[in-house]
Amino acid sequence: MTYDFTTTHKRFHTGSGKWDELLKFGVSENDDIIPFSVADMEFVTAPEIVEALKHELDSSIMGYANPTDSYLDSVCSWMKSRRNWDAKPEWILNTHGVVDAFFEAVKTFTRPGEGVMLMTPVYYPMYMAINFTGRVLVDNPLINTGKTYAIDFDDFERKASDPNTKLLLLCSPHNPTGRVWTRGELERIGSICLKHNVLVVSDEIHSDLLMPGHSHTVFATLSDEVRDNCLVLTAPSKTFNIAGLQTSNIFIPNPKLREKYFASLKCSNPNPKCNILGYVASEAAYRGCALWLDECLSVIDANRRAIEDFVRVELPCVRVHDLEGTYLLWLDMRGLGLECRELERVNHEEARLFFDEGYIFGSQGEGFVRWNIACPERYIHGALERMKRVYSEYVK
Ligand SMILES: Cc1ncc(COP(=O)(O)O)c(C=O)c1O
């Protein structure tokens, strides 16, 4: 390993919501317990990013900043080298986050009362983008096949063909199920949406986080028609653990959609600029941190294997879903026979385990947990031992 994936930094009382949540449960800094919830990593920042930020602080003035040509080139070069996507710099708009971006897309391209489709269970702010804006949820539940999830295409087409359904918020790769949609699945989604005039907003924030044997297809690469019927939302934030720098790259190849979106964005936020340090860190990451990412993925994959191996032998009541992408492992805990709020209580109070409980991703998530495994391996082992000790009381 070239990089350090074992050192951790103190995060209590630093403004990390993920960590400070633990204080409510009486966890202290001496307990060696970490939260496995919110999707940022417990790994220290790649030195290339730290150096670029230090250099910027030493040598520049912190004025208003637009993305430079060099920044945009770094983003497009990354898309070419990692995804074989010939994205153009002029397609990119920057926002402070992907959540901001999909909220804006829902507001721009649909009206109150119109339908927005989700494939559920799904990342909970996607429900918020619908509920907070007075749109209507069009629910396309995924089919749980035991170890993974499949798309119910009959239901999908039936719902997409309703003239009130205007937009699909696609999570690709999928949080929380860990699915990386295949090209074939995405092609079917793309053609059904084209046929029924449903715009696709493809949230691809997790698309760099792929487990061995899986590859990501950018939605806009499926065909020229599909490209002109979608927005692709990306960011280096998950990939390089720089979410606090709030810099996202929103690709809108179709100029009409892009103009409409930008006009709407300017109404919500009259000065839609990102932070100068966000651009610096993102460019440093895209230009210099490919090896850091590859090593990071190997640590995540080792954590996944450690969990699967342990659960197979010691926790037969728990079912680990296949992790194809993201660092968010989806575990079916229904074998414990606990109602979902009771499962949460047992995890927090007895096992001192702070996952994201599955019910927050929709009713199909009840009885599941989402485990953020982007952390040094020792924390995984500690958590597994606590699971074994506490869960054995419930499965007699
Ligand atoms: C699917 C998905 N989209 C967006 C985000 C957050 O994006 P941002 O921090 O850029 O708003 C997350 C974070 O967990 C996510 O899982």
Cα separation, 146 vs 330, in Å, equals 11
Strand partners, 115: 136, 165
- The CA distance from 218 to 232, in Å, is 8
Is the pLDDT at 300 greater than 70, yes or no? Answer: yes
Q: Which ligand 1 atom is the nearest neighbour of the CA of 326?
A: 16
Is 98 a pocket residue for ligand 1 (Cβ < 6 Å)? yes
Give me the residue spans of the domains in the chain: 17-46+290-391, 62-288
**337: CA distance to ligand 1 center in Å?**
31
Question: Among 119, 205, 247, which residue has the most ligand 1 atoms within 8 Å of its CB, making it the best to mutate?
Answer: 205
pLDDT of residue 260: 98
Point out the ligand 1 atom lying closest to the alpha carbon of residue 246: 10
In short, whether 99's Cβ falls inside 6 Å of ligand 1 is yes
23-to-142, 143, 357 alpha-carbon distances in Å:
35, 37, 18
Q: How far is the CA of 138 from the centre of ligand 1 (A)?
A: 21
Q: Which of 22-31, 84-93, 294-303, 363-372 is least confident?
A: 22-31
Q: Given this model, what pLDDT does residue 174 score?
A: 98
Ligand 1 neighbour 102 (Cβ under 6 A) = no
What does pLDDT average to over the chain?
96
Ligand 1 contact, 118 CB (< 6 A)? no
Mean pLDDT for the stretch of residues 354-383: 97
Written as six digits, the tokens of 362 are 């929709």
Q: How far is the CA of 201 from the centre of ligand 1 (A)?
A: 13
**Does the CB atom of residue 201 touch ligand 1 within 6 A?**
no
**Closest Cα to atom 9 of ligand 1:** 97
CATH number of 17-46+290-391: 3.90.1150.10
To the nearest whole percent, how much of the chain has pLDDT over 70?
Answer: 100
- Among 99, 170, 355, 361, the mutation site with the greatest number of ligand 1 atoms within 8 A of its Cβ is 99
Q: Please report, as a single letter, which amino acid is at residue 301.
A: D
Query: How confident is the model over 310-318, as a mean pLDDT?
Result: 97
Atom of ligand 1 nearest to the CA of 328: 16
Q: Using the predicted structure, report yes or no on whether residue 338 has a pLDDT greater than 80.
A: yes
Res 396: pLDDT: 67
| Cis bond upstream, residue 176 (ω within 30) | yes
Q: What confidence score (pLDDT) does residue 322 get?
A: 98
pLDDT at 314 over 90: yes
Q: Which CATH number fits domain 62-288: 3.30.230.70, 3.40.640.10, 3.40.50.720, 3.40.50.1370?
A: 3.40.640.10
Q: What distance in angstroms lies between residue 306's CA and the mean position of ligand 1's atoms?
A: 26
Instruction: Check pocket membership of 123 for ligand 1, CB cut-off 6 A.
Output: yes
Residue 105 has a CB neighbour count (10 Å cut-off) of 26
Cα of 40 from ligand 1 centre, angstroms? 10
176-204 residues labelled b (16+ CB within 10 A) or e (exposed): bbbbbbeeebbbbbbebbbebebbbbbbb
Burial class (CB in 10 A: 0-12, 13-18, 19+), 17: exposed
Q: pLDDT at residue 4 above 70?
A: yes
* Dist. CA 38 → ligand 1 center (Å): 10
Regarding the beta carbon of 171 and ligand 1, being less than 6 Å apart is answered yes
C-alpha gyration radius of the chain: 21
pLDDT in tens, 235-283: 999 999 999 999 999 999 999 999 999 999 999 887 777 999 999 999 9
pTM of this structure: 0.97
Any atom of ligand 1 within 6 Å of the Cβ of 39: yes
Pocket test for ligand 1, best of 18, 172, 175, 274 (most atoms within 8 A of CB): 175
Element (H, E) at 202: strand 199-203
**pLDDT over threshold 90, residue 28:** no
Q: Compute the distance from residue 97 Cα to the ligand 1 centre, in Å.
A: 7
pLDDT of residue 32 exceeding 90, the answer is: no
